[in-house]
Amino acid sequence: MYFLTEGTAAAGSNSSMIIMLVAMFAIMYFVMIRPQKKRQKEEQEMRNAVEVGDEITTIGGICGKVVIVKEQHLIIETGADRNRMQITRWAVQQNVTATERVKAEREAAKAAAEKAKAEKKAAKGKKDAE
């Protein structure tokens, strides 16, 4: 007959504790760290894709149109009197022009999918009528 002693019970408890800690770290990685890195990557790509003519919003809430693009800085025009100011790339929060462009592309793709679905349905109805 096999009886557990205090030494084996403590060893089992320690290994289960280590497994729990590893599992908690894995959960935190997939729930918190990985999505944050993905967002940072998307933001960096958006900032690198800013072009002349794009309308942007800065992290300070300033809206303007990009006039000159340099390596680390942008010069934007704001207001009706076209004041120019220089900002750094990391200060760009949103590229309004690119956001509108993506939204228009999504709507066009959705409309094309609906049209294809309607055509397929019409073709099926025509085939069934024959």
CA dihedral of 30, 35, 36, 38, whole degrees rounded to 10: 130
Q: How far is CA 16 from the centre of its chain?
A: 37
> What's the pLDDT at 79?
86
Q: Give 82-111 pLDDT, tens digit per residue.
A: 899 999 999 999 998 888 888 888 889 999
Whether the CB-CB separation of 63 and 76 falls below 8 Å is answered with no
Residues 66 and 127: their CA atoms lie apart, in Å, by 55
Secondary structure of 33-80 in HEC code, one letter for each residue: HHHHHHHHHHHHHHHHCCCCCCEEEECCCCEEEEEEECCCEEEEEECC
Q: Is the pLDDT of residue 60 over 50?
A: yes
